[in-house]
Structure 1
């Protein structure tokens, strides 16, 4: 009903009579006219089915209708009209509310109530005319959307967004000491693999029920991610945090979770943090809880760690952040360089090939060795970018220097990096002659971590014409089976066994054994970390074909010219 109709001088009674039959009823709505002073309601057609009453006389008065209404404070028709702060200036005062009605069958139904009230000469509500519309289906949809935005679909617990909201509330109020626990099911991947993902879901639901049974009414429990749960503990002091964590872990540990495949025994680990003492923001609280959880997992299963600030840890983080920025900047500014260390033939004394070692050129010109940044790059997930750049530089060198052979190290993650391999394949196929002068080195520990994946990686490189070397040979679980499974061309004995070779009989025995093992498969050997002439002689006598070490030749940013490459061994 628009205000223009009323301003034209038409009475609301006439408007209601004219339109209710042919418009309102046609769309399933029910019109009404409420004479407020007499407290009488006149209902239009279709009132019985919409209101769920067998006799409209039972809702003939506003009082009777109000007795059937279930509404929050301020949401009933009576309160909306009678306590309105607006004034009727001739066109009526619009209102729109939603509430539930109790029907004659014991059920409840949602309605939307839209209308206008009109004032008497004194400005008091005299008449209200409006329309009721059934909105049960819409409310169900809205409730479902609200539930999906609030609760985890699988467990019925608070979802991540709402859990963070509860955490924010605790930090904002900060009236009493509180805490946050982040708990993770140990080895959920193993459960999924052994029993199936459906059983894994049953385990998650079972854990939710256990934790819910241990939580207090004031606590907020939610599912943080796949196998992780978060608990916001209100009114929990730091000294009680360990006891709470142990009680929650025990509730899961002490009794197996019943599933459709039978009982499944599980454990959990937890990271705990006191609030607001050790975190003033949600992001900081979550980060510290994740850190404590990671520490708990590194200890052993079924453990918890309470976060404690550490200046050394923060300094290390700042160093990591600074180094990450420096690495990205060096990559963008082309300040990643190769240093070439010669690898000599033990017989001829001539350099046979060069190992490519990564270096970072600082902005001030200083050369930074790999040991200063590679471990951090691996931890921060930047090693793949560095491997890619090293590969590009090695290919450039092979093109520029057709007289040299190079050995290129790759990290563990790169052996499964499809983009790195595709880029190398593209480079070598465009210039097939490069592959015969390139040796790709992978460490033994990486190779045996996933033999099938390593074998596939090696096979593709060999098909291109590259040679493959096993680096750090002897540092892993060397066996005849491993060497037979990996179709490699060269092995490099881990330098720790060459170090102090003359004085250390254990190292002598180990090197001799590794040499015999490799020669059994007709594989030539490189000995690293060679440091003196006596080691050169002993390794040569043991049958080692190639030697590498600072004593023989240090890494250099510049390759020697072909005519300058001379014998370095006596």
Structure 2
């Protein structure tokens, strides 16, 4: 295979000469093929430490003369001492040769010193060593290749697994893992720590006034400023879209307020210049002393959030330290109990769907059914979303609920080709690439499902992150699905931004509909919403319709569809379509 090596004494058995006709008839010799793809072949005699190389070794490895790598010891001098392993380590790992040699694989780097190349090279080496009569390694041969590009990509992925790309701070998972590890290391002689959650109070207003890009750059600038005022051993990470988490080592409870003041000063003392805009940022901070008020990261987060809520009640630009109370501890026990029940229901696939029709206001013909999630408890009771969605969002299980709802809805569409369904998704899901991938996979297998699936976003979700919502809506439209804005009117949003989303339905929030005949303010508001939706040329659904008097008013204002107990209760199965 490698003619340059086999021509030399003792190297005939380094590789086996191909015997297939196709290999013998190749127009290029194998050494040129290996060189062309950047592979370097070597043979190493461990008895006398001599190494023999393929003809492209000098160019591939950036070595000036072959004399620098004629022995294993000389080559080892080029290896970065900081490498975790070398070829020598891989061969002398305690393995034994049963007669056919022992395969090894190792990765290390070569430093620029002693080479013509000025860059560090990462090498992947795959080979096999053979034992002598004494059972010790006697000879080895293998192939090396430079893997700088792959190594850099792997390092980048490893970095992103621990860091937030926008801020270069830790991501939430790694921050909390670091906090957990630090708490565990305190052992029986705990050292004082503090954990802060910093909320940028006016980031939403900046987003609405200047756009998503300016808000993100503002967040990144705030993170950099706070990071610069921390000490060695402290840690900072992105906790959520508007919050940062900070772990402060060797911080007594009495020192927390002074530390919070340093953080606030780092943010507020200078305006933030983003392009042509100069912005002032305000923050609220909640802090907890550890391990006194928390021996795990989850306890620290819960107590810091409780303190943050307290700081907001005091006003903007405030700091509050966590102090336990009987009420807060009872609430936390209740949440913990409910959390366990919800997690168990998800694990046991106890989430089910019920269905309510949305009908044309004139014909009362069902146009689609809204699929609503319910959770079944072990005692047989069924829990409605109002009692578990907020909890699921708080403890990070809402994505699992959205995943299960999508799965059940698509299964129902497969079983019932005569109906259309709508499902609701949370704010977490509109940026969840895994949810999107699962949807794409299912729709690729059944293209008939997409036109019969409607995805509902609440108005507040859509407006809080217009750009992300627009991307999500575009993805759904690209698959052929339709999109509805749910709870329309509840958020008093920028209608200009809603129009940018190009949705297929508006669903007026039921709180404006349930008392419509008796409440003149609701009538004025709903009529205005109906006129606005008509200007967008988007069909409108009125929710929570309970009587014919309400229907008459809605029909006069041009409402297209209605939903509520008057035209259909919630049921375990969608009804049959009317002819």
Is 1:436 aligned with 2:451?
A: yes
2: CA distance, partners of 1:434 / 1:471: 21
- The answer to whether the 8 A contact 1:249-1:267 is kept is no
What is the aligned partner in structure 1 of residue 361 from structure 2?
346
What is the aligned partner in structure 2 of residue 390 from structure 1?
405
Post-superposition offset of 1:359:
0.8
- The answer to whether the 8 A contact 1:163-1:230 is kept is no
Match of 2:234 among 223, 228, 233: 223
- The answer to whether the 8 A contact 1:440-1:466 is kept is yes
What is the aligned partner in structure 2 of residue 294 from structure 1?
308
Match of 2:462 among 435, 447, 451: 447
Post-superposition offset of 1:302:
3.5
Match of 1:541 among 518, 542, 556: 556
Post-superposition offset of 1:160:
6.8
Post-superposition offset of 1:271:
4.6
What is the aligned partner in structure 2 of residue 409 from structure 1?
424
Is 1:486 aligned with 2:510?
A: no
Match of 2:338 among 311, 320, 323: 323
1:299-322 residue CA offsets vs partner (Å, 9 max, x unmatched): 444422232223332233233223
2: CA distance, partners of 1:383 / 1:421: 15
1:86-108 residue CA offsets vs partner (Å, 9 max, x unmatched): xxxxxxxxxxxxxxxxxxxxxxx
1:523 partner SS: coil
Pick closer, same or farther for the CA change 1:247–1:533 going to 2, 3 Å. same
Post-superposition offset of 1:330:
2.1
2:572 partner SS: coil
- The answer to whether the 8 A contact 1:353-1:406 is kept is yes
Pick closer, same or farther for the CA change 1:364–1:249 going to 2, 3 Å. closer
1:316 partner SS: helix
Tell me how many residue pairs correspond in the alignment: 379
Unaligned runs of 5+ in 2: 1-168, 170-177, 204-213, 238-243, 274-278
1: CA distance, partners of 2:220 / 2:382: 52
- The answer to whether the 8 A contact 2:373-2:385 is kept is yes
- The answer to whether the 8 A contact 2:358-2:562 is kept is yes
- The answer to whether the 8 A contact 2:180-2:297 is kept is no
What is the aligned partner in structure 2 of residue 6 from structure 1?
none
- The answer to whether the 8 A contact 1:492-1:525 is kept is yes
Unaligned runs of 5+ in 1: 1-153, 173-178, 210-220
1: CA distance, partners of 2:180 / 2:543: 54
1: CA distance, partners of 2:339 / 2:357: 30
Is 1:504 aligned with 2:522?
A: no
Matching of residues 103-182 of structure 1 within 5 Å: 181-182=194-195
Match of 2:377 among 362, 367, 370: 362
2: CA distance, partners of 1:162 / 1:486: 44
- The answer to whether the 8 A contact 1:360-1:367 is kept is yes
- The answer to whether the 8 A contact 1:296-1:303 is kept is no
RMSD after superposition:
4.0
2: CA distance, partners of 1:322 / 1:393: 26
Post-superposition offset of 1:391:
0.8
1:451-470 residue CA offsets vs partner (Å, 9 max, x unmatched): 22222221222222222111
Is 1:310 aligned with 2:334?
A: no
1:364 partner SS: coil
- The answer to whether the 8 A contact 1:224-1:230 is kept is yes
2:457 partner SS: strand
1:432 partner SS: coil
What is the aligned partner in structure 2 of residue 193 from structure 1?
217
2: CA distance, partners of 1:287 / 1:487: 38
Post-superposition offset of 1:479:
4.4
- The answer to whether the 8 A contact 2:286-2:311 is kept is no
- The answer to whether the 8 A contact 1:160-1:222 is kept is no
Pick closer, same or farther for the CA change 1:544–1:279 going to 2, 3 Å. closer
What TM-score, normalized by structure 2, do the two folds share? 0.57
1:553 partner SS: coil
Post-superposition offset of 1:513:
0.7
1:172-227 residue CA offsets vs partner (Å, 9 max, x unmatched): 9xxxxxx7654566659999935976x9656544x348xxxxxxxxxxx9524357
1:534 partner SS: helix
Post-superposition offset of 1:516:
0.7
Post-superposition offset of 1:388:
0.9
Post-superposition offset of 1:500:
0.8
Pick closer, same or farther for the CA change 1:193–1:273 going to 2, 3 Å. closer
Pick closer, same or farther for the CA change 1:403–1:201 going to 2, 3 Å. closer
Pick closer, same or farther for the CA change 1:477–1:291 going to 2, 3 Å. closer
1: CA distance, partners of 2:299 / 2:423: 43
1: CA distance, partners of 2:446 / 2:215: 48
1: CA distance, partners of 2:472 / 2:290: 49
Pick closer, same or farther for the CA change 1:418–1:289 going to 2, 3 Å. closer
Pick closer, same or farther for the CA change 1:268–1:222 going to 2, 3 Å. farther
Post-superposition offset of 1:249:
4.6
2: CA distance, partners of 1:389 / 1:162: 33
Pick closer, same or farther for the CA change 1:229–1:356 going to 2, 3 Å. closer
Q: Which has the larger radius of gyration?
A: 1
2: CA distance, partners of 1:229 / 1:183: 7
Pick closer, same or farther for the CA change 1:279–1:444 going to 2, 3 Å. closer
